[in-house]
Structure 1
């Protein structure tokens, strides 16, 4: 975990997290403090400790989520418990599911991931603005990776909080595509939007702060074109991401526990049935695990599987 502030607006501190947790952003203004994205549930106490150490005696006033995947909102509940007066703003698309805490409508059950129940107090509506560290940030819709995601842009410093819409070497898994909902064009439209904003600095959901948005956009478009030509390649990548995410969480797991998680995780079976229907689940998962081992991202001693 590192903190990056170079060339960013005053009052913005970026905590670069490991890939299990999204980057966490802290804003300290004259009258208000705020956090954007809170990491995964496993790291919730680390998130609280990071924010409290940076804030000192000041309370946390505002909590925002770019979207509601578990690695971006898993620390919400812990921060709300630590700072009872904090107001939480979320994108509007899944507000009803959060209010009812419908884990099936949200992505937590389907991915076999964790998220403690949290509340929200308002919405981050696209087309609106939110004041962070005394500056107005524009809220833009960023469909693709998640149909409800937003990105935030500060036009004076030209700083973009891109969430999982743009990383240094691509973007997040396009989850709607896995369920037969065409979304690659939406990824392209979001990349076009980012290009039109012409950011000088990009704070991605994962990885280091970027200062060459055109280069990142070129890589993202090349990756998108490859997935559009070969959707099965995207589907295999998605499975690899889901399996690696769980290894990051567990660090070590028995073969029996691994098989039980695979069987109980709807996303895995949905992707298998849609794109790899001739391959039994155990065989497909075994192939992907072998690929992770081959690149040094996992290891096994036969009885157990280990993250690397």
Structure 2
């Protein structure tokens, strides 16, 4: 947990730095309203609730703001809405109809083999507008690339950026549209340019610690993006590895038959295979990637099953 004042952030802001299964959560405490930006993954919902309650005490949480609707950023929405019945929830507009209908295929949860309990929304985060969080106006900027509907939030007073997965200290999130045949590397580049134009002094990323060396992070991100543009197959293989590691982080251990069933029932894996590895069978491709995780020390396997390490 990061104290806002200690990190050069607004004094009424608290960052809950989470493990990789959940996104970071940012709590803003104002005189009239409290707000939480992003809510982590569903299996960590109890921890998310405990973190919020430890900071707010008897005060209620008044608002959720989601930067985008990947399961690790909105998986705690439902639990928080149940805990705080009057809770308002703002989401980017691009997938509002899918949330209203609860189209899990359109929302990517089923496609990626991940979990997100149904939640409701009450408002939209329109890029080009401001939203008041913790009593201060934060600018809402579109940040496509990792997700076509993602937004980032910027406080011009403190020059603090909540970057979600558009910029990390050592890179950015997977360009998911690119994997589906929708060019997004250019969107990623434009988002990095927008961040540079905003000139933040400190960045709260979707994953990892708060950082101040923004120029260095942008240089690293652009270098990585150039590499992915030269070798999109490498990006695709990395995406498979990330999705598999995410599943291991979620379950911690899984029987071999259950693992193979999950591989077969996760459409996004086969979509990536068919686009980038058409000559390979899905089970063989997944086996090769799992071997890479094992060699890297990120997983273990024996006759009883596969375990996260």
TM range (shorter): over 0.9
* Aligned counterpart, 2:81: 80
* Aligned counterpart, 2:265: 264
* Aligned counterpart, 2:116: 115
Alignment partners' CA distance in 2, 1:43 and 1:119:
19
* Aligned counterpart, 1:197: 198
- Superposed CA offset, 1:19-43 (max 9, x none): 0000011000011100000000000
* Aligned counterpart, 2:175: 174
- SS at 2:153's partner residue? strand
Alignment partners' CA distance in 2, 1:248 and 1:303:
17
TM (normalized to structure 1)? 0.99
* Aligned counterpart, 1:244: 245
1:4·1:16 contact (CA, 8 Å) conserved in 2? no
* Aligned counterpart, 1:28: 29
* Aligned counterpart, 1:225: 226
Aligned-residue RMSD, C-alpha: 0.7
Deviation at 1:303, TM superposition (A): 3.0
- SS at 2:204's partner residue? strand
Deviation at 1:3, TM superposition (A): 3.1
1:4·1:209 contact (CA, 8 Å) conserved in 2? no
- SS at 2:286's partner residue? helix
Alignment partners' CA distance in 2, 1:289 and 1:24:
30
Alignment partners' CA distance in 2, 1:222 and 1:89:
33
Length, aligned pairs only: 307
- Superposed CA offset, 1:217-246 (max 9, x none): 011001100000010000001000000000
Alignment partners' CA distance in 1, 2:23 and 2:62:
20
Alignment partners' CA distance in 1, 2:272 and 2:62:
40
Deviation at 1:301, TM superposition (A): 1.6
* Aligned counterpart, 2:161: 160
Aligned pairs (5 A) from 1:1-308: 2-5=1-4, 6-308=7-309
Judge which range, 186-195 or 274-283, deviates more.
Answer: 274-283
- Segments of structure 1 that go 5 or more residues without pairing to the other structure are none
Alignment partners' CA distance in 2, 1:39 and 1:171:
17
**Runs of 4+ residues deviating >2 angstroms:** 2-5
Deviation at 1:104, TM superposition (A): 0.9
2:3·2:13 contact (CA, 8 Å) conserved in 1? no
Alignment partners' CA distance in 1, 2:303 and 2:13:
46
Deviation at 1:133, TM superposition (A): 1.6
Alignment partners' CA distance in 2, 1:172 and 1:107:
15
2:128·2:140 contact (CA, 8 Å) conserved in 1? yes
- Superposed CA offset, 1:250-282 (max 9, x none): 100011000000000000000011101111111
1:299·1:305 contact (CA, 8 Å) conserved in 2? yes
Alignment partners' CA distance in 2, 1:286 and 1:280:
10
CA change 1:4–1:266 in 2 (3 A) is: farther
- SS at 2:110's partner residue? helix
Alignment partners' CA distance in 2, 1:106 and 1:177:
16
Deviation at 1:4, TM superposition (A): 4.5
Deviation at 1:302, TM superposition (A): 3.2
1:22·1:206 contact (CA, 8 Å) conserved in 2? yes
TM (normalized to structure 2)? 0.98
- SS at 2:11's partner residue? coil
